[in-house]
Amino acid sequence: MYLKKALWAEGLSAPRPSPESESQPQQQQQPPPETAVQELVNSLNRKRLYREVTLALKTGLRDARAEFSFLRLRGLRNLLKFLRSVAESDSTVHLFCQTQSLPDLQVVRAVFEHSLKEREQEEVESIDHICEGVEALKITSPSTDAEVALALRVLEGCCLLHRESTALAHQHNAIQVLMNILSTRGVLEQGACLDALVSIMLDSSANQMEFEACNGIEEVAELIRDKQVDENLRLKCGEFLLLLIGHVNGRERPPLAAIHEDIRRLLGEKSASLIWAASQFGSTLDPKERLTALHIQARRVLESLDLY
């Protein structure tokens, strides 16, 4: 969604100063009050922006709900581009949050009902569907690895922009679905899954408690301890634990009350202390420096594990 300024708005949004006002000292000049024309232009701009947001959502969701994986993949790509565009402006974020109260425009619902849905093998029990005019079975192609990874990225972005989407994800058993992906899928999906887990647990006690009930820490610890696992995935697990301690669980009376003890038991005293200490720093850094610091700290956690 890349919005261009409306042609009819040119010259109306900011009235030109009069010659008398230009001759006055700068300190004495007062900003002109908003005229009726300006109010009309602003109202039209808001309505136009809402139409653009809903159109982009409907277009992406139409493909994301398709029967064929290649169409769903195209829809997810468009939705991810849309979310990145939305994040650039507070006004579009606000409009996006408004649209997520409408079931037909809910991104999280579409992701779980189509791309992240576990599909059982569909079999034709008889030839009646072919010979006797009975309505044909609806065959839906299974989700590919690329589709699952992209769907997780869309889920992550949606939950970060719209906090209420974490509650909707909980209704679709998000933690159980993601933990299944983490234990059965490939490296591409597992990395995206860890990022999505952070986003759906942020400010969501229900999802945090579900993560604890699913023994999520044990699953992540098993991956990071296994030296046969791809090193980038192990680093991602280290980043996940740092974010889990420092941001997701950094609140009073957290649902994951025993997380420090679990990490100490699973990874050892040294690694647990390093994770706790590293997670307490970096809040004053800018986003790029914070990301670099997170990579460095995750590398140190991995090195502390490999020494023993």
Could you please report the per-residue DSSP string of 111-128?
IIIIITPPPPPP----TH
Cβ pair 70, 115 in contact under 8 A: no
- Model confidence over 242-274: pLDDT tens digits? 888 876 654 444 555 677 788 888 888 888 888
Tracing tokens 């997170």 back to the chain, one arrives at 294
Distance CA 186, CA 84 (A): 25
Question: What is the DSSP code (8-state) at residue 15?
Answer: P
CA 31, 36, 37: angle at the middle one, nearest 5? 90
Architecture of the domain made up of 41-117+144-213:
Alpha Horseshoe (1.25)
* pLDDT, averaged across the chain: 82
Residue with the bigger pLDDT between 157 and 40: it is 157
CA 289, 294, 297: angle at the middle one, nearest 5? 125
pLDDT(121) > 80? no
The pLDDT-based confidence of 194 (bands split at 50, 70, 90) is: very high
Residue type, 46: R
Distance CA 129, CA 150 (A): 35
Question: What is the DSSP code (8-state) at residue 245?
Answer: I
Distance CA 86, CA 101 (A): 17
Residue type, 303: E
Tracing tokens 């699973």 back to the chain, one arrives at 266
Distance CA 201, CA 191 (A): 16
Distance CA 14, CA 294 (A): 44
Question: What is the DSSP code (8-state) at residue 269?
Answer: H
pLDDT(301) > 60? yes
The pLDDT-based confidence of 124 (bands split at 50, 70, 90) is: very low
pLDDT(26) > 70? no
Q: Is 230 exposed, middle or buried (0-12, 13-18, 19+ CB in 10 A)?
A: middle
Residue type, 78: N
Where in the chain are the domains? 41-117+144-213, 215-308
Distance CA 200, CA 194 (A): 10
Across the range 284-297, mean pLDDT stands at: 78
CA 56, 167, 158: angle at the middle one, nearest 5? 30
259 token code pair: 């997380």
Cα 15 versus chain centre, distance: 41
Distance CA 271, CA 255 (A): 22
How far, CA to CA in Å, does 204 sit from each of 110, 168, 193, 238, 248? 20, 11, 17, 21, 9
Give the per-residue pLDDT at 9: 52
